[in-house]
Amino acid sequence: MAEPHTTTAGTEVPAHGEHVEPTFLGLNPGGWVAIAMLLVFAIFIWKKVPAAIGKALDKKISMIREQLAEAESLRKDAEALKAEYEAKAAAADQEAAAMVERAKHEAEAIVAKASVDAAALVERRKAMAEAKIAAEERAAIDQLRATAAKAATAAAARLIVERNDAGTDKALVDQAIAGLAK
């Protein structure tokens, strides 16, 4: 490739067969792109686009902050509810334990009362049985006495009949009458 050579004016002239970029008002396409970009940025600034973008971002940031605050509030509410339900659960556990304890004491009291009642019932039935036995004994003794009295009366009557005849009876009657006369 051939080297470009410099003219006396200080501009480079391309060597033979090389491509030369076109220029307009002394600027090549890259310069015009830079100027167009600067112009676009100037229009953006003139139309207050960065301020609008800033406002939009500020709104979005504000919205996000509100959502975070709401989420924090919801979290605190949830923690408060959790603590409340944990307290209620603990209270329910304590109440259940107290109910079980009361039930145990009531069961013990019922068992003790039943034991006392059973002992009293046994004593009453024992007393009733002893009274019944005593009554039966009295009835048996009374019946035995009545039977003995009957037997004695019958035996006495038999003895009198066997030992006494009409003559003995007359003597006894005479003796009784004499005893009355005296």
pLDDT tens series, the chain, 182 aa = 455 555 554 555 555 657 777 777 777 888 888 989 999 888 877 777 777 888 899 999 999 999 999 999 999 999 999 999 999 999 999 999 999 999 999 999 999 999 999 999 999 999 999 999 999 888 988 888 888 888 888 888 887 777 777 777 777 788 888 888 76
1 CB contacts (<8 Å, ≥6 apart)? 15, 18
Q: Which residues pair with 27 in a beta bridge?
A: 24
Backbone angles phi, psi at 134, to 5 degrees: -65, -45
